[in-house]
Amino acid sequence: MDNGKELGPIAAYDLIVIGAGSGGVAASRRAAAHGARVLIAEADRVGGTCVIRGCVPKKLMMYAASHGQLLREAAGYGWVGMAGRFEMERWADAKAREITRLEGLYRGMLADAGVDLVNGRARLLGPGQVEVAGRTLRSERVLIATGGSPAQDALPGLDLAMTSNEVLDLREVPSTLLVVGGGYIAVEFASILAALGAQVTLAFRDALPLRGFDHDLRKRLAHALTERGITLAGGVGLDALTHTAERFELQRADGSVLGAQAVLNATGRRPNTAGLGLEQAGVDIDERGAITVDIDSRTTVQGIWAIGDVTNRVNLTPVAIAEGRAFADSEFAHHAVRVDHRTVASAVFTEPPIATVGLTETDAARLGPVDVYESDFRPMRTAFVGSQARSYMKLVVDGLSDVVLGIHMIGTDAPEIVQSLAVAMTCGATKRDFDRTLAVHPTAAEEFVLMREPTRRHGKPPQGPAGTAPS
């Protein structure tokens, strides 16, 4: 164990956590702060998907890609001699050092909190009993926080492709890259690798990428990806992936074939539930392998909870952290806390980036009258150097109560802007609140408080100039 403590053949704890990712670490530290004796078991590196092979290294790669665009823009601002060449090996070495540093911080946080850490694969023996690293451990409470991993069964041969795990360990940029999938992982890496110099093709079944996002964001992202040289191969079923000595080939349902030097499988993720002993313990899982839980993260077995991606509720790191802390507060501080999964902001780190919180226009319109406010413009920074890139913002507003139901943006700084606006939306802000907020000028974010007239309405009769129905 990392903190030097020794376990006997049978050890008892107030809480055993399986999985030292963001959610598991947050729950462990919070429970320990409430006075619980806690052990956390991890079969891999401490930090989980987000820190080791997900959000953090992905965004570091995104930063690397964005610097190329900044160098090109610099010439338009009077800078000379700014040409450069990207060397992925240098980035990969720097990324590895940073991830090692962050893992050390996570291990240190656990040790400082008094949480015992065991490196090993854990398995439920039954309610209140866990086997890990050859030892049997006991606890009245077991929390499963094992996250998810890339799915490889969407079509035959997909196991030949690299996943989001391996792409972050690349030491050279492939000359041609085929990305299979149309979700946020697919479009993020397509955007990033294209900016780093790969010729990218994005293959997906739907007509547009990012199914489930607001339709106007999806349309604008598709246009932006195409403008950046990415080939969109959508609207056709995908049959099988094969590999020859020269290249990978993706067979499509219409008989066409897409080829590339490298392939990234970005067809989704699956909960990490295999080998946990869930069946022996009586813990129910659904058809996708996710652990079934209630609003308080309780499984179908007393004394066993689950949080994060392994439950397949809202698969985002901040949600897992919030669920972990809510569990610890409820169980060890006797202060009932629940996580509201209805209003969760999210971002897609493409170029340009997307951010969104709340209902899409389509979903809101199904519930009742809706007013839609929009702004579409060329940002000052890029317009100055002749770029045709645009930013787009949308507010979806309840047509009866004036409450803002959805906030959506694609454009520079979208994640930072929408994160701040998510606070207002969580507090129940109305369109009137936006209207009486003074703008910070000149900024892109001010557009959100300058939208005065709706561009369209759903579920309302047309109105005359004085607000009365036209004759």
**Cβ–Cβ contacts within 10 Å for residue 311, how many?**
27
Q: Which residues contact 396 (CB under 8 A, 6 or more apart)?
A: 358, 359, 360, 361, 364, 370, 371, 372, 404, 405, 406, 407, 408
Q: Does residue 184 share a domain with residue 117?
A: no
What is the reported pLDDT for 82?
83
Q: Does residue 222 share a domain with residue 93?
A: no
Alpha-carbon gap, residue 163 to 224, rounded angstroms: 24
Domain boundary among 245, 267, 289: 267
- The whole-angstrom distance between residue 434's C-alpha and the CA centroid of its chain comes to 27
Output the domain CATH number for residue 25: 3.50.50.60
Residue 378: Cβ-neighbour burial (10 angstroms; 0-12, 13-18, 19+): middle
User: Among 34, 334, 441, 458, which one carries the catalytic annotation?
Assistant: 441
What is the reported pLDDT for 223?
97
Q: Does residue 242 share a domain with residue 290?
A: no
Alpha-carbon gap, residue 311 to 322, rounded angstroms: 14
Residue 156, preceding peptide bond in cis (omega within 30° of 0): no
Alpha-helical (H) ranges within 157-297 are 164-167, 184-195, 215-227, 278-281
Is 65 part of a structural domain of the chain?
no
Output the domain CATH number for residue 447: 3.30.390.30
458 labelled catalytic: no
What is the reported pLDDT for 81?
86
Number of domains in the chain: 3
Is 213 part of a structural domain of the chain?
yes
pLDDT tens, the chain, 471 aa long: 444 344 544 568 999 999 999 999 999 999 999 999 999 999 999 999 999 999 999 999 999 999 999 999 999 999 998 888 999 999 999 999 999 999 999 999 999 999 999 999 999 998 899 999 889 999 999 999 999 999 999 999 999 999 999 999 999 999 999 999 999 999 999 999 999 999 999 999 999 999 999 999 999 999 999 999 999 999 999 999 999 888 999 999 999 999 999 999 999 999 999 999 999 999 999 999 999 999 999 999 999 999 999 999 999 999 999 999 999 999 999 899 999 998 999 999 999 999 999 999 999 999 999 999 999 999 999 999 999 999 999 999 999 999 999 999 999 999 999 999 999 999 999 999 999 999 999 999 999 999 999 999 999 755 555 444 433
Q: Which residues contact 210 (CB under 8 A, 6 or more apart)?
A: 182, 183, 184, 187, 217, 218, 221, 348, 354
Q: Does residue 93 share a domain with residue 214?
A: no
What is the reported pLDDT for 463?
58
Is 164 part of a structural domain of the chain?
yes
Q: Does residue 132 share a domain with residue 44?
A: yes
Location of structure tokens 């041609």: 176
Is 81 part of a structural domain of the chain?
no
Is the distance from CB of 265 to CB of 240 less than 8 angstroms? Answer: no
Is 459 part of a structural domain of the chain?
no
7-18 burial, b at 16+ Cβ within 10 Å, e below that, comes to beeebebbbbbb
Is 401 part of a structural domain of the chain?
yes
Q: Does residue 180 share a domain with residue 143?
A: no
Tokens of 54: 């997900």
pLDDT in tens, 328-351: 999 999 899 999 998 999 999 999
What is the reported pLDDT for 462?
55
Q: Does residue 437 share a domain with residue 366?
A: yes
What is the reported pLDDT for 107?
97
Tokens of 285: 């899982």
Q: Does residue 278 share a domain with residue 296?
A: yes
Alpha-carbon gap, residue 455 to 360, rounded angstroms: 15
The whole domain housing 39 covers 10-52+89-150+270-332
What is the reported pLDDT for 461?
58
Q: Does residue 299 share a domain with residue 211?
A: no
Q: Does residue 217 share a domain with residue 253?
A: yes
Q: Does residue 113 share a domain with residue 96?
A: yes
This prediction's pTM:
0.93
Tokens of 31: 């429970």
Domain boundary among 218, 245, 267: 267
Q: Does residue 325 share a domain with residue 277?
A: yes
Domain boundary among 225, 241, 267: 267
What is the reported pLDDT for 245?
85
